[in-house]
Amino acid sequence: MPLRETIQLGRPLRGAHTLIATFPRNAATDATDAALADAALTADAAYHRGRQDGERALSEQLLRQRGELIELQNGVLKSLNATITTVTTDCEDAMIALALEIAGKLVADMPLTTEMVEAAVREALASVEQHSKLTVLLNPMDYELLQTANAPILLTDLGGERTTFQPSPQVTRGGCMIQTNFGIVDARRETKLQALKQALQH
């Protein structure tokens, strides 16, 4: 016997939809539909709640990262400022040292004349009181240079017998040292350069 059999109707069906519409629903079917609707609402609410939680967490993370970035940026700027200050100071010290070294070499290589030695002695004498006995110490070569040229600085018009000149190996060329009753005035070139270096550094 065939599992499927075609039924031949003598006329078309009418009102079939009415029959289906008026067919009584099963209580279990209604409960299932209600449960599915509740589950759909619950899932939708959970989705929206999860989305809001995710957006809130993302916003908090972005704010935290922004704060960390600002803190890192401030640290970098502070470090750069400190580095710039250090580099500037180091460059200034290096330039001063280089300039003084160049000046020292230029002065050392410059040929000395009688006028230059006299000028150094006059400058040193101008810084001391000449009411006491003074002894001007010169490099032996400079002392000989002044004597050979009969330099006016050796005459008695700067203090008479109270001012005497003596050669001393302790004095480098181009400078002098003056002994007074109160101490020694150091007017050597290297001492002047050192004083200039300290003045520039401060």
Q: How confident is the model at residue 14 (pLDDT cuts 50, 70, 90)?
A: low
CB atoms within 10 A of CB 86: 10
Q: Residue 93: helix, strand or coil by DSSP?
A: helix
d(CA 35, CA 29): 10
Does residue 47 carry a pLDDT above 80? yes
- Which two structure tokens, joined as six digits, stand for 52? 């809001």
What CA–CA distances, in Å, run from 78 to 68, 89, 147?
Answer: 15, 17, 64
pTM confidence score: 0.51
- DSSP sequence for 47-74: HHHHHHHHHHHHHHHHHHHHHHHHHHHH
What pLDDT shows up at residue 100? 75
Which regions of the chain does DSSP assign to beta strands (E)?
134-138, 163-167, 176-180, 183-187
Least confident of 6-10, 29-33, 85-89, 99-103: 6-10
Per-residue pLDDT tens digits for 84-119: 888 888 888 888 778 877 877 776 667 888 898 888
pLDDT tens-digit series, residues 125-160: 888 876 678 889 999 999 999 999 888 888 755 455
What is the structure's pLDDT at 5?
66
7 pLDDT exceeds 80?
A: no
Q: Is residue 168 pLDDT above 90, yes or no?
A: yes
